Amino acid sequence: MKLVQNLLLALAVFALVAAALLYTQQRPLIFPAPAYYPQAAIDGFRLVHTRTDDGLRLSAFYRPALPGKKTLLFFHGNGDNMRGAIEATRGPAAAGHGLMLVEYRGYGGNPGSPGEAGLYRDGAAAMRWLAGAGVDSRHIIVVGNSVGSGPATEMALRYDVAALMLVSGFSDLPSVVKSQVPLVPRWLVRDRFDNVSKLARVKAPVYLMHGAADTLVTPANLERLARARPDATVARVAGVGHELAYTAPAQAILTEWVGGLR
Read off the amino acid at residue 64. P
What's the pLDDT at 203?
Answer: 98
- Residue pair 144/166 in contact (Cβ under 8 Å)? The answer is yes
CATH-assigned architecture of domain 34-260: 3-Layer(aba) Sandwich (3.40)
* Cβ neighbourhood burial of 64 (10 Å; 0-12, 13-18, 19+): middle
Residue 165 has pLDDT above 60, yes or no: yes
| Domain spans of the chain, in order of start | 1-30, 34-260
193 CB-near residues (< 8 Å, 6+ apart): 116, 147, 149, 150, 153, 170, 172, 173
Digit-coded pLDDT (tens) for 169-221: 999 999 999 999 888 888 888 999 999 999 999 999 999 999 999 999 999 99
What's the pLDDT at 122?
Answer: 99
Average pLDDT in the 156-164 region?
Answer: 99
What's the pLDDT at 38?
Answer: 63
- What does the CA dihedral 149, 154, 157, 160 come to, rounded to 10 degrees? -90
* Distance, CA of 129 to CA of 52 (rounded, Å): 10
What's the pLDDT at 191?
Answer: 92
The model carries a pTM of: 0.90
* Distance, CA of 41 to CA of 51 (rounded, Å): 19
What's the pLDDT at 1?
Answer: 57
| pLDDT band, residue 39 (cuts 50/70/90) | low
